[in-house]
Structure 1
Amino acid sequence: MQSPFACVYLSANDIMDPAATTSFMAESCKRVKFNREKLDSVVQLILKGVQEGACHQNYAANVLHTYNEVKLSFIKSLDRYFFVNCISFSFWKNPLSGGPKFMVKGPDGNVHKGSRAVMIRINQLIRCGIPFTASSLSCMPFEVFQFLMTDRRGAVLPMIEERWQIIRDAAATLDQKFAGHFYNCIKYANFNSAELLTLLLENFPRFRDITIYEGRKVSFLLRAQLLILGVAQLFKENNHKIGFMLDQEQLRISSSCRSVQMFRFYGLLVPSPEIEERMQKDDLFAYGEPDEVEMRAMSNYCVEEIKREVNRRLQLLGKPKITSVEVDAIVHKDRYERVSRLQRGQILFPKVRSALH
């Protein structure tokens, strides 16, 4: 099956894809190291997750469309998923800013934050009859968007103006080029992940998670990959007559600040003392600066090394291999269920304010 990174946009612009970026930077990182001594303990955790069936649970638990308790047609569900991805970034709350964090109670009775809260909020709006379409979003005033994306306690998402501008621009592009529906983007891309990635990068700047490291153009494309992964899942769940072509093996989706947080917590990812000091002081990291880029790349590398060792042991047991996506799912589950409940000082992460991841 064709790699999603066989992408014309990347090759035409001499940009390393996320897999190549991970390999290149594993050899080049100066400020962040991989601690192989901690690998076995993390591998044991992942194997335990495999044994408990975590790999057989739908990965969509970490992809936003599982929170779609409001049922829509296939085409409208793709639109909803696309728009949620457009405004899913940088949810952490500045502890000095005061005021509550944006959180929304879901249909499960639990209070959610981050991307989950955004999806649940959008579903609430749809249930109330508020159109969440390209035509409505492309001309929505900022004051209306801000009001709609405010929780019951008056908390608003950080970077709310940037989110409004991004979703307006994306909606306008859908309207002008793709007859108002994300499905038409996928159709135009011949239901192929590599062609869809090219289309996203060409038409939607929000997904250009690309920077320069030591003179080389490197990419992480975190949100574009998550969008494509969710598209593949939606096609599968809806038994669409045309399959969506995606080689999940190729994905590298562990470059978020929360993934960095987890691998630092496990002791696999070791930042320099200078970076540790910056995190302790709650310094703001700039998108694309060397410290930030190295941590993201090393986070992806951690997943690849975990996967390699887990699969070696599974092969000895005569059991099927797992993918990087499944490793990431188990790590995410561990963060959500266990690590996020620890004291803040134990779970430091690099704070970045960027619309790109």
Structure 2
Amino acid sequence: MANKKKKSSALDVKESLEAAKFIVENAKDVTINKENIKHFRTALKIFCNENRENRENSEIFLNAFFRPEDYPDFTEKTVDWLFVFHTLNFSLFYPKGTKQWQAGDSDGYNALSFAIKRAIDEKKPLWDPKYYSKLTESELKHIFRSDDGETTIPLLNKRRMILHEVGNVLLKKYKGTFKNCVKKAKYNQDKLVKLLFDEFEPYRDEAKYKNKTVRLYTKANSLIKDIWACYKKKNMFHLNEEKMMSTIFIDYRSPIVLFYFGILTYSDKLLRKFTNNNQPLKHGDREELEIRACSLIAVNEIFEQIKVEWNQINPEYDRCISIIIDNFLLLYIAEYFHKYVYMYDQYPFHYITSVHY
């Protein structure tokens, strides 16, 4: 690919929460309204009470991230399947007024998950770099065929190029499996973030903001938490909850929920841009960075505000509040916006052209 490899040891770099806080402090078009978090907390309590009534649901929402039904069970192939899924989980929507790509009667990352699972069920080893590093455009188009037979997944050829690139890295350096990347990182989240950044271009989530290099590691964080879920029963993968950021951008529509609750506020200029301009934002654009950083810090603020209160109810919540918040945001999109409001018309949605999330 065109981008030259950048080493993660670069100087004068702000990373993760530090980078997000720096962007929020200097943001021009996106702000966080902490006063409105109380409305979010009320809705979150209702969500938790509803799930606690069902013991099975309670165990799930306390201990695992909600993911599409087409996510695999834990097998020898799961980590490699997840690597392909997260690598391809980017730019899944077309601008407003354009027919959206759908698969399995879903759009976005649910459609992506369905299409990959469908391919595996059809005996296409999409977890194996020996297979996907040689996929042709027509083969990939068939894998991601739409329900209507007309629309195609956005950036199809770009996805093929990325699969070839990451597949060749795995074949040349990691004996053809992403599990060896996890082992090289010694099952440690920080080391795996750095390995992903150094080895695979789609995970180099780096941009310039106010003359500073900022890295939010959005795609890497989502992949790592899913890998943690795979290894959790074996207690092998070391996840530092204090350092991990929210995985809400596994579906980058999540800021719409924060906007709906009034936690995120957009400037009139930005609202007009979303209303009157279908030109997608690009990775590293100032507005794109501000939306992402403010969303991440807003979720962190929600976590801090409810932590003390919830610990008085049940001390075990301290370890799972971030999981609950992420689950609520993702399910709110599915349960509210898809059923009652067609979000693309009613709410400002930042279409993005990026391979990084």
- What TM-score results when the alignment is normalised by the length of structure 1? 0.87
Which residue pairs with 2:310 in the alignment?
314
User: How big is each residue's C-alpha offset from its partner over 1:281-325, in whole Å with a ceiling of 9 and x where there is no partner?
Assistant: 134222212111111111111111111111132234454324333
Hey, what does 2:75 align to over in structure 1? Answer: 73
Where does the alignment leave 5 or more consecutive residues of structure 2 unmatched? Answer: 1-6
Determine if the alignment matches structure 1 residue 245 to structure 2 residue 232: no
In structure 2, the residue corresponding to 1:62 is in which secondary structure?
A: coil
DSSP-derived class of the 1:199 partner? helix
2:347 — aligned with what?
A: 347
1:326 Cα deviation after fit: 2.5
Pick from 265, 281, 286 the counterpart of residue 260 of structure 2: 265
1:87 Cα deviation from its structure 2 partner: 0.7
1:23 Cα offset (Å): 2.1
CA distance in 1, matches of 2:279, 2:204: 25
Number of corresponding residues: 336
CA RMSD of aligned residues (A): 2.2
SS in 1 for 2:13: coil
- Deviation sequence 1:102-128 (CA, Å, 0-9, x none): 3232xxxxx222222222222222222
Distance 1:16 1:323, change over 3 A: farther
Instruction: Quickly say closer, same or farther: Cα 1:152–1:45, change in 2 above 3 A.
Output: closer
Q: Which residue of 2 aligns with 1:226?
A: 222
User: What SS class does the counterpart of residue 33 from structure 1 fall into?
Assistant: strand
Q: State TM-score, norm by structure 2.
A: 0.87
Tell me, what secondary structure is at the counterpart of 1:104?
coil
Asked whether 1:184 is paired with 2:187, we answer no
Distance in 2, Cα, partners of 1:208 & 1:73: 28
Q: Which amino acid aligns with 1:227?
A: L
Assess if the C-alpha contact under 8 Å between 1:89 and 1:354 holds in 2.
yes
Q: Secondary structure at the match of 2:242?
A: helix
Task: Look up the SS of the partner of 1:335 in the other structure.
Answer: helix
Identity of aligned residues (%): 21
> Mapping of 1:1-357 within 5 angstroms?
10=8, 12-52=10-50, 53=52, 56-58=59-61, 60-63=64-67, 67-68=70-71, 73-74=75-76, 76-98=77-99, 101-105=100-104, 111-132=105-126, 133-154=128-149, 155-236=151-232, 239-240=233-234, 243-252=236-245, 253-255=247-249, 257-281=252-276, 282-317=278-313, 319=315, 320-321=317-318, 322-341=320-339, 342-343=341-342, 344-357=344-357
Deviation at 1:36, TM superposition (A): 2.4
Q: Is 1:89–1:355's contact at 8 Å kept on the other side of the alignment?
A: yes
Q: Residue 6 of structure 1 corresponds to which residue in structure 2?
A: none
Matched position secondary structure for 1:218: strand
Taking a change above 3 Å as real, the CA distance of residues 267 and 68 of structure 1, as seen in their structure-2 partners, is: closer
The one-letter code matched in structure 2 to 1:73 is T
- Unpaired segments ≥5 residues, structure 1: 1-8, 106-110
C-alpha distance in 1, partners of 2:74/2:216? Answer: 31
Q: Tell me the secondary structure at the aligned position of residue 46 of structure 2.
A: helix
CA distance in 2, matches of 1:266, 1:301: 15
Alpha carbons 1:265, 1:346 under 8 Å: kept: no
* Greater shift in the superposed pair: 115-124 or 269-278: 115-124
